[in-house]
Structures are given as structure tokens and as C-alpha cells.
């Protein structure tokens, strides 16, 4: 397994629990992975162990804004999202995978990957040769393994930039906030995390807007009264699953390396967990060739979300009007139930599902 982020740890945990021999090869950039650590309920439910120790906030409402429209707040009857600090989340997931029996090896990176009929050979940056029957590439949106085997991604990935502002430096402790006027084709966010506020900018295709550190600092200054951001960093998000099969010979791509992030808001952890667990399941069943088929539903969901994103960011006035008038409460109710965006849409189509989402007495 190359990569010990959310996808790699999810796959390693399941493989080790299923009795397979698995080595988590962790490397790449020294800096912790930039990530706002927001988990929807559907993502939370995929973990095989409790996350209570790393949950910093449970979120029931979100403040939203767009220029020319009055700011609004939408909520759900139950939490639809929890906030974690990504570094703490990764530490917990790595500890759990290792406790389950996954091996662990640090590396400075991947130098080369070769395949033959019997297995995969990976040469680490240190020059060590590692051999496995199958390789799960969980090495993120930059995926050195994918670049070695498949080249560049077929579409411009999404991009996000974030930083942390210590709570005592902020003039107020904000609710979860999405500001859609902040980035063309994206949004600015504020995620409250107890001792700090995660401040970020997102764009659904990196060719639509350039995210700059000065812009992030300016956003923090305007919204929170301080630009003393720490741990500022950006990273692409893989959103191309609908366009490229997540398998190449004896290599199964998972998480951002597979492009499994949904492009509308950039929620990537759910796709990372789903793909990691499905890849592990296919290997444990002795049917790794089924992995792309198992991923087809999520690929279809991402195709639909991509269509929605094109409309939402293409005609932002219309998109935001729909979101603020009726979409947000429905979406949040679906998210609080642990549904995906597509699942919420499907539930909305039936009278029973609609009543349930609206919490009507007849539900
Ligand atoms: C700023 C930002 C904020 C985000 N906020 C959220 C959010 O709030 N909620 C959400 O759901 N999603 C969020 N995302 C998306 C989410 O972070 C990713 O989709 C998710 O982390 C993908 O998980 P992964 O395991 O596939 O990849 P990663 O988390 O990128 O993990 C890949 C791992 O592989 C390692 N690695 C890299 N190269 C090598 C190599 N050569 N050899 C070995 N290991 C290697 C890396 O060090 C890393 O640990 C955000 C993304 C960004 C950039």
C-alpha cells in the first residue's frame, strides 16, 4: 500500500482485519496533508472504530453568503457534519490500522513502479526494492504511482488552500460558514475547531481561479479580524474517477489517486474511505478485477455531481438562489441521515422520502 492517508488507512485496516499481509508505505511531503477535516455523517459511519477522541465540533447549521443576497443560515434537526483536526484524524487511523496488524514503513517517496504477470515492484526513493502481488495506490492527488503508470489526470483537478487561526486571535468564533462570493467557481470557508478556526478557499476546477495566500489572509482578516494564519498550505483534490478506471493491471487506485472526491464542495474523505474499503474487499475476495465494477456506483454519483457543479458554478446567481431557498435544508436533512447528494436527490423523488427529509408529522 503506497500512502497512509484516509484511503490507505481504510484499506489497510480492512485487509489486516481480513487476514491479509499488508504493508503501509508512508512517505511524500513532510508537512501534514492540507485538509479541513470536516466529515459528513455518511463518512463518519464508514469508520470501523469510534472517532469520538478526535471530534472537535458536531455541526447542525451552516451560514452561507453570496454578494447581492442576504446572508442566510440553514440547519438540520441532527448534526450533518463533524469537525476533526486532520493531523489527529490521520494519527488515529494509522494507529488503528497498525493495531489491526498492518505493517508500517516510512519512505521519502516512490522512484519507480513496474508490473509483470506475478506482481508489482516498487522502488523507493531510498533505492529499496519492494515486491507485492498487488499494490494499492493511496498516495493522494499528486500520486507518484499514477503518474508513473497513467500520466497526468484527464481533467483539471479541484484545488483548496487553507490555514489555521488561533481562536484567541479571532474577533469571534464563527459557525461553519461557506461564502460563495469569495472565489469564482468555488467558495471560502470557516470551520470552527475549538482552539482554532480553519480558514480556506476552494475552487472546483483549478483552471477557473488561482488561489493565493494573500487572498486567504485577506479573507481571514475580513471575516475574523486577523490574518495571523498558521500552517498555510494548498493541495489539489482528485475529481476524475468518472473519466479514468481506478485499476491499471495489478495496481488499484483509491482515494484522491483514483480521483474519488466529489467536486461540488470538495468532500474527499468519504470517497477515500469508500474506495479504500472496496479495494480491500475485492482483494480479500480474491477478485481484484471486480474493483472498477464495485466503484461504478460512486463513479456515477460523481458524474452527476459534476453536472450539478457545472450548473451551480456556471450560473452562480441561479445556483445560489436554489441552494438558499430550498436546496440547503433538504441537502442538510439528507446529510444528517447519512445520505450522499445523489441519495438525497433520490429520497426527495418519493413522497415518503420527501416527508422524511422535511421531518413532516406524517413521515
Ligand atoms: C485544503 C483542503 C481541505 C480539504 N477539506 C476537506 C474536508 O473538510 N472534508 C473532506 O471530506 N475532504 C476535504 N479535502 C479533501 C481530502 O483532504 C482528500 O480528498 C482526502 O484526504 C483524500 O485522501 P487520500 O488518502 O486519497 O489522500 P491523502 O490524504 O492526500 O493521503 C495520501 C498520503 O500518501 C502520502 N504519499 C504521497 N506520496 C507518497 C509516496 N510517494 N509514497 C508513499 N506515500 C506517499 C501522503 O503523505 C499522504 O499521507 C480537503 C482537501 C484540501 C486540499
CATH of the domain at 188: 3.30.9.10
Nearest to 200 by CA among 277, 258, 266, 109: 266
Q: Do 290 and 245 have their domain in common?
A: yes
- From 46-55, 81-90, 154-163, the region with the lowest mean pLDDT: 154-163
Question: 3-state class of 101 per DSSP?
Answer: coil
Tell me which of 269, 270, 271 to substitute to probe ligand 1's pocket, judged by most ligand atoms within 8 Å of the beta carbon. Answer: 269
Location of C-alpha cell 447542525 = 60
Q: Do 191 and 276 have their domain in common?
A: no
State the chain's mean pLDDT as an integer: 93
Atom of ligand 1 nearest to the CA of 2: 43
The conformation of residue 259, written as its DSSP 8-state character, comes to T
Q: Do 96 and 203 have their domain in common?
A: no
- Neighbouring C-beta atoms of residue 171, cutoff 10 Å: 9
Q: Which pLDDT does position 41 carry in this prediction?
A: 98
Whether residue 57 is contained in a domain is answered as no
**CB-ligand 1 contact for 26 (6 Å cutoff):** yes
The conformation of residue 33, written as its DSSP 8-state character, comes to P
Q: Do 118 and 223 have their domain in common?
A: no
Q: Which pLDDT does position 177 carry in this prediction?
A: 97
Q: Do 150 and 179 have their domain in common?
A: no
To the nearest whole percent, how much of the chain has pLDDT over 90?
81
Ligand 1 center to 35 CA (angstroms): 7
Whether residue 66 is contained in a domain is answered as no
The total domain count for the chain is: 2
Answer yes or no: is pLDDT of 361 > 70: no
Parent domain of 193: 158-237
237, 267, 290: which is the final residue of a domain?
Answer: 237
Could you give phi then psi for residue 306, rounded to 5 degrees? Answer: -65, -40
266, 282, 307: which is the final residue of a domain?
Answer: 307
Whether residue 45 is contained in a domain is answered as no
Q: Which pLDDT does position 363 carry in this prediction?
A: 35
Q: Do 138 and 180 have their domain in common?
A: no
Atom of ligand 1 nearest to the CA of 268: 19
Whether residue 90 is contained in a domain is answered as yes
Q: Do 243 and 291 have their domain in common?
A: yes
For atom 16 of ligand 1, the residue with the nearest CA is: 268
**CB-ligand 1 contact for 110 (6 Å cutoff):** yes
Question: 3-state class of 258 per DSSP?
Answer: coil
**CB-ligand 1 contact for 256 (6 Å cutoff):** yes
Q: Do 164 and 284 have their domain in common?
A: no
pLDDT band at 97 (very low <50, low <70, confident <90, very high): very high
Q: Which pLDDT does position 326 carry in this prediction?
A: 79
Quick: pLDDT tens for 227-281: 999 999 999 999 999 889 999 999 999 999 999 999 999 999 999 999 999 999 9
Tell me which of 33, 109, 193 to substitute to probe ligand 1's pocket, judged by most ligand atoms within 8 Å of the beta carbon. Answer: 33
Q: 247: burial class by Cβ within 10 Å (0-12, 13-18, 19+)?
A: buried
Q: Do 213 and 202 have their domain in common?
A: yes
Ligand 1 center to 94 CA (angstroms): 14
Q: Which pLDDT does position 360 carry in this prediction?
A: 46
**CB-ligand 1 contact for 109 (6 Å cutoff):** yes
**CB-ligand 1 contact for 163 (6 Å cutoff):** no
Give the chain's length. Answer: 363
Whether residue 206 is contained in a domain is answered as yes
266, 289, 307: which is the final residue of a domain?
Answer: 307
**CB-ligand 1 contact for 7 (6 Å cutoff):** yes
Amino acid at each position: 500500500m503506497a500512502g497512509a492517508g484516509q484511503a490507505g488507512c481504510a484499506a489497510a485496516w480492512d485487509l489486516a482485519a481480513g487476514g491479509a499481509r499488508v504493508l503501509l508505505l508512508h512517505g511524500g511531503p513532510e508537512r501534514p496533508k492540507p485538509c479541513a477535516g470536516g466529515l459528513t455523517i455518511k463518512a463518519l459511519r464508514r469508520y470501523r472504530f469510534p472517532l469520538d477522541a478526535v471530534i472537535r465540533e458536531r455541526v447542525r447549521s451552516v451560514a452561507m453568503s453570496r454578494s447581492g443576497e442576504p446572508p442566510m443560515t440553514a440547519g438540520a434537526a441532527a448534526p450533518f457534519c463533524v469537525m476533526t483536526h486532520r493531523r489527529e484524524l490521520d494519527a488515529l487511523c494509522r494507529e488503528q490500522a497498525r493495531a489491526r496488524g498492518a505493517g508500517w514503513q516510512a519512505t521519502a517517496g516512490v522512484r519507480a513502479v513496474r508490473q509483470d504477470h506475478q506482481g508489482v515492484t516498487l522502488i523507493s526513493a531510498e533505492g529499496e526494492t519492494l515486491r507485492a502481488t498487488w499494490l494499492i495506490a493511496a498516495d493522494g492527488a499528486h500520486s507518484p504511482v499514477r503518474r508513473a503508470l497513467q500520466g497526468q489526470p484527464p481533467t483539471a483537478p479541484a484545488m483548496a488552500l487553507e490555514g489555521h487561526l488561533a481562536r484567541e486571535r479571532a474577533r469571534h468564533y464563527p459557525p461553519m460558514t461557506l461564502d460563495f462570493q469569495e472565489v469564482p467557481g468555488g467558495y471560502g470557508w470557516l470551520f470552527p475547531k475549538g482552539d482554532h478556526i480553519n480558514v480556506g478557499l476552494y475552487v472546483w476546477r483549478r483552471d477557473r481561479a488561482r488561489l493565493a495566500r494573500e487572498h486567504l489572509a485577506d479573507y481571514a482578516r475580513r471575516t475574523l479580524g486577523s490574518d495571523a494564519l498558521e500552517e498555510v498550505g494548498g493541495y489539489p483534490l482528485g475529481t476524475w474517477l468518472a473519466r479514468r478506471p481506478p485499476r491499471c493491471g495489478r495496481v488499484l487506485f483509491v482515494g484522491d489517486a483514483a480521483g474519488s472526491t466529489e467536486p461540488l464542495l470538495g468532500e474527499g474523505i468519504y470517497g477515500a474511505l469508500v474506495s479504500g474499503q472496496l479495494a480491500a474487499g475485492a482483494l480479500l475476495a480474491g477478485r481484484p478485477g471486480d474493483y472498477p465494477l464495485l466503484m461504478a456506483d460512486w463513479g456515477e454519483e460523481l458524474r452527476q455531481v459534476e453536472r450539478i457543479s457545472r450548473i451551480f458554478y456556471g450560473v452562480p446567481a441561479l445556483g445560489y438562489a436554489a441552494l438558499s431557498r430550498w436546496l440547503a435544508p433538504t441537502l442538510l436533512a439528507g446529510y444528517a441521515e447519512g445520505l450522499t447528494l445523489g441519495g438525497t436527490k433520490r429520497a426527495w423523488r418519493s413522497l415518503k422520502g420527501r416527508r422524511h427529509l422535511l421531518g413532516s408529522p406524517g413521515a
